[in-house]
């Protein structure tokens, strides 16, 4: 897209005029695109007003959140509050035993967790399902860790039997197991408890393993669901090592960001062995975005547990209604239990663009986030059905 307006000649117009016109144009586009957004797991209903007054400050949380820096315009105390809140949601027990930080994204959390895992285990193999987010194999590539893919079932969850086979074949090695709480395409939840028992049964004891849970979206949904099967709950009670989530997904922030929580022993090891110059060099990035910390804190504090429970309940209900409406027109739909991700056959390019759907092969998905209300769902279902059954009727979820 050409950024500046065609009517403006950048050689003749004053910068102020160019800037105003360009920003106006962007703003109008964003207002329009936000209204019809269905495809990405972003909670666009956030309230950024209370933190907008900080736009004039460079807020930089340099270094370890528990140490801080001499740069005065920082919010590491707020960051520790954010991490404490999330540690409770993920059932950390004694917070002293855990470490957490706000980073640039869910991807950064995955990369840093897998780095800590490698530093802990020496020369491990990383195992993840084929439905894992691409940032997981990417982290393995960056870190030069051998990565093995394991099959997932048709719902998108890791197959414990397939996992057993892969682990069995590598039983003499140390293993990093990267599980997913809410897969990107199908919104599936790997059963954390069953996967841990596979490791136990094959004889990969806790000293030879590191289990990371990538919970970019649903690690901020499942803790707030009533009657959740305990195996899929993103909880440190399973004996896992780390969980990461994205701030701009269920929490809802005006900038991409993420939170990682990890057992403190792993961070301590890195702080003392790798970085002998600065024992507080425990984050991937040196400078970190303090605005993101304020944005997450504003959301957690305002919404409280009750707010997230409300999100979880209403979004799951709406996703059920969405799936039901498509099914009643005999559209094949996949919707995992306690998931917000509705998978259906890929519609026309026009609808894919209009609703900003994410597609994979002949499937597309919509994600029912808190800003996706009944009117948007109805409008999309109407548009979809209008072109159905011109869509391919092939078997879609294989």
Active centre residues (catalytic): 339
Q: How far is the CB of 290 from ligand PLP (least distance, A)?
A: 18
Q: Which residue has the tokens 């920082």?
A: 74
Q: How far is the CB of 395 from ligand PLP (least distance, A)?
A: 25
| Dmax (CA) of the chain | 73
129 in contact with ligand PLP (CB under 6 A) = no
C-beta of 319 vs 325, nearer to ligand PLP: 319
* Integer Cα distance of 64 and 286 in angstroms: 9
Options 216, 333, 340, 351; binder of ligand PLP; rule CB under 6 A: 216
Give the footprint of ligand PLP on residues 166-205 (CB under 6 A): 180, 182-184
Query: Can you tell me the distance from the alpha carbon of 167 to that of 146, in angstroms, rounded to the nearest whole number?
Result: 13
Q: How far is the CB of 44 from ligand PLP (least distance, A)?
A: 15
107 lies in the binding site for ligand PLP (CB under 6 A): yes
Asked if 86 touches ligand PLP (CB under 6 A), the answer is no
Which two tokens mark 58?
């460079």
The per-residue b/e assignment along 380-397, b for 16 or more CB within 10 angstroms, e otherwise, is bbebbeeebeebeeeebe
Q: Is 341 in the site for ligand PLP (CB under 6 A)?
A: no
Contact between 336 and ligand PLP per CB under 6 A: no
Of 37, 118, 128, 133, the residue at the interface with ligand PLP (CB under 6 A) is 133
391 is an interface residue for ligand PLP by CB under 6 A? no
CB closer to ligand PLP out of 82 and 204: 82
**Least distance to ligand PLP, CB of residue 216, Å:** 3
Question: Does 296 help bind ligand PLP (rule: CB under 6 A)?
Answer: no
Which stretches of 219-289 are DSSP H helices?
Answer: 264-273
Residues 241-260 that bind ligand PLP (CB under 6 A): 246, 256, 258
Question: With contacts defined by CB under 6 A, how many residues of the chain interact with ligand PLP?
Answer: 15
d(C-alpha 44, C-alpha 11), whole Å: 37
150-166: b (≥16 Cβ within 10 Å) or e: bebeebbbbbbebbbeb
Collapsed DSSP state (helix, strand, coil) of residue 192: helix
Three-class DSSP category at 1: coil
The yes or no reply on residue 89 touching ligand PLP (CB under 6 A) is: no
Single residue of 105, 235, 298, 339 touching ligand PLP by CB under 6 A: 105
How would DSSP label each residue in 26-79? HHHHHHHHHHT--SS--------HHHHGGGGS--B--S-TTT--S-SS--HHHH
Closest approach of Cβ 218 to ligand PLP, in Å? Answer: 8
Q: Which residue is nearest to ligand PLP (CB)?
A: 106
Residue in 75, 150, 198, 217 binding ligand PLP, rule: CB under 6 A: 217
- Radius of gyration of the chain measured on its C-alpha atoms: 22
Instruction: Tell me which of 106, 124, 137, 345 binds ligand PLP, using CB under 6 A.
Output: 106
Q: Residue 78 or 178: which CB sits closer to ligand PLP?
A: 178
CB of 299 to ligand PLP, least distance (A): 15
Q: Where are the beta strands (DSSP E) in 227-374?
A: 242-246, 258-263, 341-345, 358-360, 363-367
| Contact present, 51 and 252 (Cβ < 8 Å) | no
Nearest distance from residue 297's CB to ligand PLP, in Å? 18
Tokens of 146: 């051998």
Residue of 42, 61, 30 whose CA lies nearest to 294: 61
324 membership: H or E segment, kind and range: helix 290-327
Residue 79 as a binder of ligand PLP (CB under 6 A): the answer is no
* Nearer of residues 62 and 260 to ligand PLP, judged by Cβ: 260
Q: In this complex, which beta carbon is closest to ligand PLP, that of residue 124 or of residue 156?
A: 156
93: left (phi over 0), alpha (psi -120 to 50) or beta: left
Q: Is 137 in the site for ligand PLP (CB under 6 A)?
A: no
Interaction site with ligand PLP (CB under 6 A): 105-107, 133, 135, 180, 182-184, 214, 216-217, 246, 256, 258
């Amino acid at each position: 897209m050409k950024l500046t307006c065609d009517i403006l000649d950048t050689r003749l117009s004053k910068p102020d005029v160019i800037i105003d016109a360009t920003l106006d144009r962007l703003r109008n586009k964003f207002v329009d695109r936000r209204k019809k957004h269905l495809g990405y797991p972003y909670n666009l209903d956030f309230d950024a007003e209370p933190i907008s007054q900080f736009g004039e400050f460079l807020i930089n949380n340099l270094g370890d959140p528990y140490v801080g820096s001499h740069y005065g315009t920082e919010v590491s105390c707020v960051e520790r509050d954010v991490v404490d809140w999330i540690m409770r949601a993920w059932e950390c027990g004694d917070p002293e035993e855990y470490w957490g930080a706000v980073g640039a994204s869910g991807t950064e959390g995955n990369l840093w967790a897998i780095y800590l895992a490698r530093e802990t285990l020496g020369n491990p193999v990383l195992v993840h399902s084929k439905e894992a987010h691409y940032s997981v194999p990417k982290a393995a590539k960056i870190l030069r860790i051998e990565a093995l893919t394991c099959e997932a079932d048709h719902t998108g969850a890791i197959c414990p039997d397939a996992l057993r086979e892969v682990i069995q074949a590598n039983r003499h090695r140390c293993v990093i197991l990267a599980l997913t709480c809410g897969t990107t395409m199908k919104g599936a939840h790997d059963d954390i408890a069953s996967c841990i028992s596979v490791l136990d049964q094959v004889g990969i004891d806790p000293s030879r393993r590191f289990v990371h849970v990538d919970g970019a979206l649903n690690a901020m949904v499942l803790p707030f669901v009533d009657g959740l099967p305990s195996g899929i709950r993103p909880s440190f009670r399973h004996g896992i090592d780390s969980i990461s989530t994205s701030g701009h997904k269920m929490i809802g922030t005006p900038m991409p960001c993420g939170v990682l929580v990890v057992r403190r022993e792993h961070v301590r090891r890195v702080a003392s062995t790798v970085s002998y110059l600065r024992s507080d060099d425990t984050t991937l990035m040196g400078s970190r975005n303090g605005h993101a910390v304020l944005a997450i804190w504003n959301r957690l504090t305002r919404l409280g547990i009750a707010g997230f429970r409300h999100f979880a309940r209403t979004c799951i209900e709406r996703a059920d209604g969405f799936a039901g409406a498509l099914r009643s027109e005999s559209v094949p739909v996949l919707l995992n239990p306690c998931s917000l991700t509705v998978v259906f056959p890929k519609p026309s390019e026009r609808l894919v663009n209009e609703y900003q759907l994410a597609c994979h092969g002949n499937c597309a998905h919509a994600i029912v986030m808190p800003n996706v209300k009944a009117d948007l769902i109805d409008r999309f279902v109407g548009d979809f059905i209008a072109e159905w059954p011109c869509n391919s009727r092939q078997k879609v979820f294989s």
